[in-house]
Structure 1
Amino acid sequence: MVSEPPAATLAPAPATVPYSTASVTAPDDAASRARFVDWFRAVAPYIHAFKRKVFVIAFPGEMIQAGKLAQTVQDIALLRALGIRVVVVHGCRPQIEEQLRLRHRESRFHDGRRVTDDAALECVKEASGEIRLDIEAAFSQGLANTPMANADIRVMSGNFVTAKPVGVLGGVDFEHTGVVRKIAIDQIQLALNSRAVVLLSPLGFSPTGEAFNLSMEDVATSIAIALKAEKLIFLTEIPGIVDELGELTRELSERSAKALLDGGKLEADTAVYLRHCLRACEADVPRAHMIPFDIDGAALLEVFTHDGVGTMISRDDLEFLREAGPDDVGAILTLIEPLEADGTLVPRGRGVIERDISAFSIIEHDRRIFGCAALHPYPDQRMGEMACLTVVPEAQGLGDGERLLKHIEQRAREEGLTRLFVLTTRTAHWFLKRGFVQTSLDALPPEKQRAIDRSRNSQVYIKQL
């Protein structure tokens, strides 16, 4: 059984967001209207949370080459309309390569970094100038019956980035390749306060008037740190961090991100993005995201749905979520006894908790347990039961129930389970919003069916993992 988890922060969004006026004002039936209203209301907490916060959204030239610019600009325009202040940083690597090819020049790289000679610098200027114009044009459109109708978005660019040369590394002179030295924070803030979208190219300038070729990742990360952004979002050509089983890792703490980088097993592009995400989080940017640009609406799905579509790196240390041990039995009993007394949970007693302590995971803040959940596997059916999901009342609505659920799901996957089920009498709606589907007792493992107290009339919900 499970206790009342924290209030849901967001229900899953529909597969597509209805853009046209007709689909919003005249849906086919009452069910369609209800689904749309439920989804829109569910987005509200995020709109409130992110209003006037700064998002730095960066994308590589590969995204533009893939024809994804228009849909990305539409999504950014929507974020801006919701009161989010946006800085956009673009890359232009394939466009530079094309300019070099047209000039019959060879690309030169050393240790993954471009060596920018005089000819390459001209190609950088040409490529970034064309892309900047394309982005400004995309933000300027306002056709009726499109997401850009009535948008009226101003784009501001400028020499906001002061750069310095990389210099000579490993005996190689990188010439006009540079790194960010300083950000004109006050000027960018003025632009954001005027409701403009700030657009930055991967170029920086020295006090002596020299131009330097910078990496998109360096510019975006430096901007996010300088502005104390709420989010740094990379729209990437990769799906995010994928584990050895090919599963997407949806969330990483700083410690886990460092361990992945130190392991040296990541692909080069993945390591570059993760390194910059980690750098941002270590400098107090709360969240950094790697999301694939080939998913339509990726930025919206990542920001406004619970699970997102990519990998999020968190500044906060997630180590307070851990497996329980014998010393935690007393705290778990204190946590669940009130819910056993009012009938929410099936009474277990100390002996049962001590016996099953290895099944429990707990959330601990300042040496106090704020929540717990247990996983009971049924390996023959490749199913697992999540039981005893409990969060103290003062922490409900803060996401601890969500984190416990994710953790139990991950434990189940690691044990080779493919389905997770819960029995509940009071929290069905919470689980429905998180991908569980109601089923019958007959769908449960025979061993569990025999042990159930049918007089409680518990509802059964299953989720595919």
Structure 2
Amino acid sequence: MHNGEELIDSRSNSVVQTLVVEQAQQYVELARQNPDINGDFLLYLKESIKACVNGVKRAHLVSRYVDGGLLQEICEGLMITKHMYEGIRMANTNDIVSVMRLIQPLLDDDVLVSRDQEHIESNVDTFTVVERDGAIIACCTLQPYENNFAEMGCVAVDPTYRNLGKGNAMLGYIMRKAAAMGVTKLFVMTTRTAHWFLERGFVEATVNDLPPSKVAKVDLKRKSKVYICDISTKRALDEKELLLQME
């Protein structure tokens, strides 16, 4: 509990509601050079960083003077989080064989739309991968469309890592990346993993809800279900990220 202090982003004059540990540490370093910074607030921030570094997923700074502050924190407070996205990066040509190896079992089971190594080579710039100890353990694509839509596709996670939050981290990364591109609606099409996306903030839609250029390419014979996630505001992104970290 703190005394109601707020962090303001001077570039946008908006209240900062979420910081990853690295950002919070940078603020602490800058604050040490400013004698006007409230010492108590700085102490609370440093203790929040310490908690996250030592294994706590997120720390909330809540004003002691706001009635119902604990409840309001989910929408209005300052949250410090561990960085979710370590090891996630854009794919390059050196990853093509590893990506193909990762998705092959899903291609064999007809979970993913058929694609060969040549297709991956020509579309490698759309792939994001998760790397751990030099191995590619997860991947997906992000394909932008008109009307501020983008599709997350070709989602695959090595079975060894499926219960370790790598899929959540990759989804959070893709949401942030898509939003930075101006995307407001992120969609997926799937035949078997609907529950996973529903549990993470997607809602069921129809093919007709998709942008026209995507509708023209849909293979109706696959009977894929459509799910869309709203990422139109920073707060929506923060809430989705919080949900992913709670998994």
Query: Structure 2 length normalisation: TM-score?
Result: 0.75
Task: Say which SS state the counterpart of residue 452 (structure 1) adopts.
Answer: coil
User: Shift of the alpha carbon at 1:335?
Assistant: 0.7
Q: CA RMSD in A?
A: 3.6
Task: Say which SS state the counterpart of residue 290 (structure 1) adopts.
Answer: strand
The answer to whether the 8 A contact 1:239-1:291 is kept is no
Task: Say which SS state the counterpart of residue 113 (structure 2) adopts.
Answer: coil
Task: Say which SS state the counterpart of residue 328 (structure 1) adopts.
Answer: helix
User: Shift of the alpha carbon at 1:274?
Assistant: 4.0
CA, structure 1 residues 288+405, in 2 after alignment: closer, same or farther (shift >3 Å)? closer
| 1:396 and 2:162 aligned | yes
Residue in structure 2 matched with residue 312 of structure 1 by the alignment = 80
Amino acid at match of 1:457: K
Equivalents in 2 of 1:258, 1:441: separation in Å?
45
Per-residue Cα deviation, 1:122-156 (whole angstroms, up to 9, x for no partner): xxxxxxxxxxxxxxxxxxxxxxxxxxxxxxxxxxx
Gaps of 5+ in 1: 1-58, 63-236
| 1:450 and 2:204 aligned | no
The answer to whether the 8 A contact 1:384-1:417 is kept is yes
For this pair of structures, how many residues does the alignment match? Answer: 224
User: Shift of the alpha carbon at 1:61?
Assistant: 4.5
Task: Say which SS state the counterpart of residue 409 (structure 1) adopts.
Answer: helix
User: Shift of the alpha carbon at 1:311?
Assistant: 2.4
Task: Say which SS state the counterpart of residue 435 (structure 1) adopts.
Answer: coil
Residue in structure 1 matched with residue 144 of structure 2 by the alignment = 377
Equivalents in 2 of 1:242, 1:401: separation in Å?
34
User: Shift of the alpha carbon at 1:277?
Assistant: 3.0
Alignment of 1:318-337 (within 5 A): 318-337=85-104
Equivalents in 2 of 1:263, 1:384: separation in Å?
37
Gaps of 5+ in 2: 232-247
Task: Say which SS state the counterpart of residue 372 (structure 1) adopts.
Answer: strand
Amino acid at match of 2:192: R
Which residue, out of 116, 124, 130, partners 1:357? 124
User: Shift of the alpha carbon at 1:249?
Assistant: 6.2
User: Shift of the alpha carbon at 1:276?
Assistant: 4.0
Query: Structure 1 length normalisation: TM-score?
Result: 0.42
Structure ID, larger Rg: 1
Residue in structure 2 matched with residue 5 of structure 1 by the alignment = none
Task: Say which SS state the counterpart of residue 111 (structure 2) adopts.
Answer: coil
CA, structure 1 residues 330+290, in 2 after alignment: closer, same or farther (shift >3 Å)? same
User: Shift of the alpha carbon at 1:308?
Assistant: 11
Equivalents in 2 of 1:308, 1:342: separation in Å?
45
The answer to whether the 8 A contact 1:376-1:384 is kept is yes
Residue in structure 1 matched with residue 176 of structure 2 by the alignment = 410
Residue in structure 2 matched with residue 60 of structure 1 by the alignment = 2
The answer to whether the 8 A contact 2:18-2:78 is kept is yes
The answer to whether the 8 A contact 1:243-1:249 is kept is no
Residue in structure 2 matched with residue 368 of structure 1 by the alignment = 135
Task: Say which SS state the counterpart of residue 381 (structure 1) adopts.
Answer: coil
